[in-house]
Amino acid sequence: MGSKHDIRRAPAVRDRGVEADLQARLFAGNQVWVVGDIHGHLATLRALMHRLKLGKEDRVVLLGDMIDRGPDSAGVIEYIREHPQIIAIKGNHEQMAIQSLQATSIELNSTWMSKGGASTWGSYIVAAKGDLHRAKLTFAEDCAWLADLPSHIVLDHWRLVHAGYHPRIDLEEQDEKTLLWIRRAFFKHDEPIDPKRTILFGHTPTTKFGKVGNVAKSNMVIPDGRPSWIAMDTCAYNQENPCIAAFDLGTGQTIRQRTLKSEHWWLKTETRESPVAEHFGLAELRRRARKVDAAREKARRRLAMAGVSRRVKSPISFRVVKRKFPLVETTIPSSGIHSQDSVIYHA
């Protein structure tokens, strides 16, 4: 359960307003999708959202671990915060990031840095184009938002949580650390933890259940015939079948979005997080700068091949033609300037 991590055992937090709204939408027949761990894969998340074909009244609930490991955690948080149909709960990676916010200053949590946080911090520096002050401000604002997220969501027939529940603690007495970190004690329990509700959770990759790139379902069932739990972390960065999955609470349909090839970061590094973690994003900034310089040089060469020179900048477009032979004209043309070295004609 990760007891070695310095995470306070505060009471688990619910948002009753969010729960009532989601339950009302389910009663009305709207779609409520539940999505597993995203881990910084913004492009793949956007592709999944497109495939869900959301109606105006539909909603999407994210099960935490939206950040770390992948190439653009800062972009993921920005996208989630700006999307009116997305609701998020807290995961253990968000909790580790939150610990870096100390009053008004940022002190990067060492445990978080060793567990994927370097890629998240690097993505904030890249998003700020190397402006460390701006990166810290944005990160601090996002951490404050993450800190206010609920620990779990309880509906009439479902529980949505990041990691799970402790089977020997009353469901109403669970603490936040348990809900964000627990593993085997939860899913190895030999009877349903909530006989009225199926528990959807992330945190533990479904590879642990022999379901590589697919959701996993408990063999135990509750009285209404549904599985006791459904594991949603299909692992966006498993090398065999990487994807992000969404589950429709109304119909039981599952949609899987394979991780886009542009986000197969594990092919570019031997570490367990994307290259944006290298030197906290500075290496990525240098790579992008080299790419921009190369594009500019390519454009300059094409202009030169077309006979256009852009070495001289002026509000008026003109070209400079070096004089190779004596001038034939005896007077200076009214549209040009005669100098010893060149004739400059206005375009």
For the ranges 98-102, 261-265, 316-320, the lowest mean pLDDT is seen at 316-320
DSSP 263: G
The pair of three-digit structure tokens given for residue 6, joined into one six-digit string: 């310095």
What does the pLDDT average to over 47-57? 98
pLDDT of residue 347: 42
* Alpha carbon distance 92, 250 (integer Å): 27
For tokens 């007077």, what's the residue? 331
79 part of a folded domain: yes
164 part of a folded domain: yes
CA dihedral in degrees (200, 202, 207, 208; nearest 10)? -80
275 and 317: one domain?
no
* Alpha carbon distance 298, 190 (integer Å): 64
What does the pLDDT average to over 314-339? 50
pLDDT of residue 314: 45
181 and 48: one domain?
yes
212 and 271: one domain?
yes
159 and 244: one domain?
yes
Helices (H), ranges, the chain: 16-27, 42-52, 73-82, 92-98, 110-112, 118-127, 132-147, 176-181, 184-187, 282-305
296 part of a folded domain: no
3 part of a folded domain: no
42 and 174: one domain?
yes
168 exposure class (CB count in 10 Å sphere: 0-12, 13-18, 19+): exposed
Percent of the chain with pLDDT strictly greater than 90: 73
28 and 138: one domain?
yes
304 part of a folded domain: no
> 14 near 150, Cβ under 8 Å?
yes
What does the pLDDT average to over 103-129? 90
pLDDT of residue 107: 87
274 and 314: one domain?
no
Residue 252 has pLDDT above 60, yes or no: yes
219 and 282: one domain?
yes
For the ranges 43-57, 136-150, 161-175, 323-337, the lowest mean pLDDT is seen at 323-337
Q: Using 50, 70 and 90 to split pLDDT, how confident is the model at 343? A: very low
Q: What is the CA radius of gyration of the chain?
A: 28
Count of domains for the chain: 2
342 and 224: one domain?
no
206 and 340: one domain?
no
CATH number at residue 48: 3.60.21.10
56 part of a folded domain: yes
210 part of a folded domain: yes
What pTM was estimated for this model as a whole?
A: 0.81
pLDDT of residue 284: 74
132 and 233: one domain?
yes
299 part of a folded domain: no
* Alpha carbon distance 134, 172 (integer Å): 41
97 and 202: one domain?
yes
pLDDT of residue 200: 98
Angstrom CA distances, 293 to 238, 298, 330, stand at: 34, 9, 45
**Per-residue pLDDT tens digits for 192-232:** 999 999 999 999 999 999 999 999 999 999 999 999 999 99
Range of the domain at 257: 16-287
